[in-house]
Amino acid sequence: MTTTLVSVNTYTHSVAYVTNQVLLSIKRIISWSGLDVSRFVADWREFENGIKTWLGSRHLETVVLEIFDPPTNALAVRWDFEIRYTSGSGDDGGFWADSEAIKNAIKKCGLIPSECSYRVVVTTKPEAPSVAGWTTTTLRSTDGLVRYCVGTTIDASSLASGAAYWKRP
């Protein structure tokens, strides 16, 4: 009798899944907000490489989508995807994403002027590895904006992401 042992690194799968779902969520926000996604799609691999690297090393804290008015540089809306490193969600270990929660939150944000632009920024823990194509920057001020929690929108057993958005009251 031959015995075969199969070992699956679920954390590696969680990293890949959360990376993909965070990026898909950002793409949906850009598109559903009426903005052009072509620049985001063109840079997808660069975003994917950074997020996957920092999730894998457990240094990623937040992935931020800033939607701003270029002439004033002021935020119109900001989306935060906060990463939670867990020992499991307590369920059957299934992977899921809630795009409907994102869609509903976009409706609550209201209209975004079509002349707005956007950028993706991450926050990491100290000593995070450097990733080609990424550099340091400062987040735009959220002064005058109010933070609204969407809740957990992505769960991948040992990794999860909660979403929140900032807008004018």
Per-residue DSSP letters for 76-89?
EEEEEEEEEE-S--
Residue 143 one-letter amino acid: D
| Residue 120: domain span | 10-167
Residue 84 belongs to some domain of the structure: yes
State the pLDDT at residue 8.
53
Residue 107's CATH number: 3.30.900.10
**pTM for the model:** 0.91
Residue 5 belongs to some domain of the structure: no
Given a contact cutoff of 8 angstroms between Cβ atoms, the answer to whether 45 and 128 are in contact is no
Q: Is 47 strand, coil or helix?
A: helix
Given a contact cutoff of 8 angstroms between Cβ atoms, the answer to whether 142 and 67 are in contact is no
pLDDT, tens digit only, all 169 positions of the chain: 555 444 457 889 999 999 999 999 999 999 999 999 999 999 999 999 999 999 999 999 999 999 999 999 999 999 999 999 986 544 556 899 999 999 999 999 888 988 999 999 999 999 999 999 999 999 999 999 999 999 999 999 889 999 999 999 9
